[in-house]
Amino acid sequence: MGYSLSVNPAMARNVAREGSASKHPAKLAATHRVVFLVDVDNTLLDNDALQADIKTHLADNYGPACRDRYWAILEDLFTELGYRDYLGALQRYRVEHPQDMHLLSMSSFLVDYPFADRLYPGALDVLARLRSWGPTVLLTDGDVVFQPRKLEQSGLSKAVDGEVLIYIHKELALDDVAARYPAHHYVLVDDKPRILAAVKQAWGDRVTTVMPRQGQYAHDSKILASVSAPDVTVEHIKDLLNCNPADLVAGEGWAQSQVETT
């Protein structure tokens, strides 16, 4: 079919349990049969390339020492916060170097970055395809300025009609996600094995986890070996254009009916 889709055998074994609504009475009150939750960084947008551009810009315009110090602060903030706070790192750098005025222009580079140029091929088409099957929400981590700006300027927010959730740690906010978008079943598309495993542990058969093998985390052998495998794996986000609902929501009557009518 021109694409590679790997299905975890455990997903198929769970079909019988998934299809039994009587064992999950809370699901009967769900508003939607299925809700698609889609990550942003390295799932829809090449964040590794964005980081490389930032490093190059810093080195070319402010020197390698400035680049290295800024990036060290950024990594410290990542450890502290759980997400990369690019503008926060710039502010901390300024506190260390209060008279280094020329670096202040770096904020314009970050805010005005052409995020749309970093979308993976097929990213917007995948969102449109998923939305034809059910509510589709961007589920991401990040700060309150740079991350929303990224979603707006890339066109991703518009592609889902503003259905966006930005948390500090999204895997710890699943109750809030479910309250905002109640559903019988969820499909989570994310490049991070750790996130997929955490959500699978929390929601069990209620979620299908899908990992595009894109970005640094999806290829980290140590991370992959330390967590449970996702239900479905594709090489690229665009490969989801070749999937049908039954590939992503095994055992659901909804998925079967969609396949029969499309």
DSSP 140-170: EE--SSHHHHHHHHHTHHHHTTT-EEEESSG
What's the confidence (pLDDT) of residue 246? 84
Task: Provide the pLDDT for residue 5.
Answer: 54
Q: What confidence score (pLDDT) does residue 259 get?
A: 36
Domains of the chain are 5-45+120-261 (3.40.50.1000), 47-115 (1.10.286.50)
Integer Cα distance of 129 and 188 in angstroms:
15
Q: Which residue has the tokens 């805010």?
A: 111
**Within 10 A of 171 (CB to CB), how many other CB atoms are there?**
21
Find where tokens 């799932």 sit. 43
Residues 6+ apart with CB under 8 A from 161: none
Q: What local confidence, expressed as pLDDT, does residue 256 receive?
A: 41
Mark the ranges of the chain whose per-residue pLDDT is less than 50: 1-3, 11-29, 252-262
- What's residue 255's pLDDT? 43
